[in-house]
Every structure is written in structure tokens, then in C-alpha cells.
Amino acid sequence: MQPGGCSGLRYSMYLDDQMSEQDVAEEQFGVRLVIDRMSVPYLSEAKIDFVDTLEASGFTIDNPMATGTCSCGHSFH
């Protein structure tokens, strides 16, 4: 997660082939997800999925730890 948006934090996903000492790796269903240590507490209960419908295609994040979102839908707090 990164600072930004009108609510304070926003999700960012990147493809990378290196891990640093500040990263934590988790694997489920054969997919390895690497998260920076500062973001782990905010994402501890989050569920990441991929949707592919006529209306949308891409990753979704359902995060019960997010207490509120902004009107643009790109950040939370």
C-alpha cells in the first residue's frame, strides 16, 4: 500500500522478480504474493480475487480492515 488518494492509503500491485528484506511472502493456490512489512497489518484479513466479466476485468480487494473509502473509490483509511 502507498500513501495517496483522498482517504489516505491506496492499493498498488506490481510485477517484480526480486524481494527485499522488508518484504513478506505468502503463497496460496500456487500464487505467491509479496507484501511490504509496513502494509501487512492493513492487509491481514484482505481477500484478493480476479474478476473477468462483461462489466469489469481485473483484481479486486475485499478488505474488512478498511474503515472507510473516498468517493473516487481509489483509496481508503
Q: Where are the domains of the chain?
A: 2-62
What are the pLDDT tens digits along the chain (77 aa)?
A: 555 555 567 788 888 888 999 999 988 889 888 998 988 888 888 888 899 999 889 988 888 877 766 555 555 54
For the entire predicted model, the pTM comes to 0.64
Quick count: other Cβ atoms within 10 Å of Cβ 76? 20
Rg, the chain, Cα only: 13
Query: Is domain 2-62 given the CATH code 1.10.645.10 in the classification?
Result: no
Q: What is the pLDDT of residue 52?
A: 95
Per-residue CA distances from 51 to 2, 8, 26, 37, 58 (Å) = 23, 26, 21, 27, 6
